Amino acid sequence: MVAQPQPRLPRSVLEGSGAFLPARVVTNDELARTLETSDAWIRERTGIAERRVAGPGDTAVSMATEAARAALADAGATAADVDCIIVATSTPDEAFPATAVRVQAALGVTRGYGFDLAAACAGFIYALSVADGLVRSGQARGVLVIGSEVYSRILNWRDRGTCVLFGDGAGAVFLRAGTGEGVEAPGILSTHLHAQGTLGDILYVDGATGRHDRPQHLVMNGREVFRHAVTRLAEAVEEALSANGLGRADVDWLVPHQANLRIIDAMGRKLGLPPERVVVTVERHANTSAASVPLAFAEARADGRIRRGDLVLMEALGGGLTWGSALIRM
């Protein structure tokens, strides 16, 4: 029997990116008026100088929609090219319908499907992995992957240990099915996801829809999160490189989760990347959870830093604990 050639699996190619940030800027000095803190204290521990905070008209849906529109325009695509929308968010406007289907309606997408995914700050990496799987399996040819967060509405604004760390915003990418092969061809080379539920109590929101006995505020053991973040993210980064037969020197850009400048710097040093090859937005955006990686990525593409052919490494860790990495050839 003559062996039949195997059909080539499609590869997810990242063709467009977009971002949306609320207009209101809240500086450290503004927070210091009502909290026992200072600009110097916040900058020294986190690298954050300011953050964006949602206004009355900003919602997870509205921000996700604007970021998605920008991503489609960047890719030269329209609503007719969208088969699937995945929104990574821990702060949806409603328990249901999903943020994704509200975005679908707002964009005028008339076919396909959409759903939300909750993996805290690692949500975008998780959503990117799911989208890549849908493309590779032939269930979609055009996918919007969006991170959209309104953390200002779940923060305890009297807790200086958490409220100074977070901001609001949305970032999006548009994936299309491609036909390239090998590590030099454009597309998502691989994604790697992990979780450790036994560490769920070091970063969580104290409440949920249907529970009125808790304040529904974010709670964090910052010391423990920091300790696990550097170790787990380093493992996920090495896993991605090893899976593709690549080394640290092959990486052109690191786009990390924007949680804390000290964590970002530690990851850059582990990869041997100079600071100018690490995309950093935490000073101006703070931690926008699932939106932080796509926001940083969109900025670096828009200003011309990330170019066609570059190898981009993304990584993030969030409550759960959840963490993961993605390796992408532009």
DSSP class of residue 185 equals: S
Q: Which of 143, 178, 213 is the last residue before a domain boundary?
A: 178
Asked if residue 279 belongs to a domain, the reply is: yes
pLDDT of residue 214: 65
pLDDT, tens digit (0-9, with 9 covering 90-100), for 149-174: 999 999 999 999 999 999 999 999 99
- Which structure tokens are listed for 188? 């998502």
Name the pLDDT band for 2 (thresholds 50, 70, 90): low
Task: Looking at the structure, tell me whether residues 22 and 145 fall in a common domain.
Answer: yes
Q: What is the mean pLDDT of the chain?
A: 94
Is 236 a domain residue? yes
163 is known as an active-site residue: no
SS3 state at 252: coil
Share of the chain above pLDDT 70, in %: 95
In a domain, 5, yes or no: no
Which residues lie below 8 Å from residue 4, measured CB to CB, with a gap of 6+?
Answer: none
**Rounded Cα gap, residues 16 and 37, in angstroms:** 40
Q: How many domains does the structure of the chain reveal?
A: 2
Same domain, 164 and 195: no
Do 241 and 299 fall within a single domain?
A: yes
The C-alpha atoms of residue 258 and residue 246 are separated, in whole angstroms, by 25
Q: Are residues 137 and 213 in the same domain?
A: no
Q: Are the CB atoms for 169 and 295 separated by under 8 Å?
A: yes
Active-site choice (84, 260, 285, 287): 287
Confidence category of residue 126, pLDDT binned at 50, 70, 90: very high
Got the DSSP string for 258-309? -S-HHHHHHHHHHHT--GGGB---HHHH-B-GGGHHHHHHHHHHHTTSS-TT
Q: Known catalytic residue: 121? A: yes
Same domain, 191 and 124: no
Domain boundary (142, 161, 178) is at 178
Asked if residue 289 has pLDDT above 90, the reply is: yes
150 lies in some domain: yes
- Please check whether residues 232 and 113 belong to one and the same domain: no
Digit-coded pLDDT (tens) for 170-200: 999 999 999 888 999 999 999 999 999 999 9
CATH code assigned at 289? 3.40.47.10
Q: Is 285 a catalytic residue?
A: no
Determine the average pLDDT of the residues in 306-325: 97
Looking at residue 8, the DSSP 8-state letter turns out to be P
52 and 167 share one domain: yes
- Note down the domain range covering 268: 187-329
Taking the C-alpha atoms of residue 205 and residue 155, their distance in angstroms, rounded to an integer, is 9
Cα 265 from Cα 262, distance rounded (Å):
5
Q: Kindly name the residue from 28, 163, 192, 257 that is annotated as catalytic.
A: 257
Q: Provide mean pLDDT across the span 48-65.
A: 97
N-to-C CA span, the chain: 40
Least confident of 64-68, 251-255, 270-274, 292-296: 270-274
- Binned at pLDDT 50, 70 and 90, residue 99 comes out as very high
Residue 84 placed within a domain: yes
Whether residues 139 and 222 fall in one domain: no
Q: What share of the chain is helix, strand, coil (3-state, %, to 5)?
A: 40, 25, 35
Among the listed residues 28, 121, 192, 260, the single catalytic one is: 121
Q: Give a yes or no: residue 2 inside a domain.
A: no
Same domain, 33 and 163: yes
- Give the lowest-confidence range in 83-97, 131-145, 193-207, 297-311: 193-207
Among the candidates 147, 178, 209, a domain finishes at: 178
Whether 40 and 159 share a structural domain: yes
pLDDT in the model for residue 172: 99
Per-residue pLDDT, averaged over 44-70, amounts to 97
Residue 6 in domain: no
Which structure tokens are listed for 151? Answer: 């953390």
User: What is the predicted pLDDT for the residue at 28?
Assistant: 98
Q: Residue 193 domain-assigned? A: yes
Nearest partner of 182 among 35, 7, 9, 6, judged by Cα: 9
- Same domain (yes/no): 15, 135: yes
User: In the structure encoding, which two tokens stand for residue 156, read together?
Assistant: 């305890």
Cβ 88 vs Cβ 97: under 8 Å:
no
168/197 same-domain check:
no
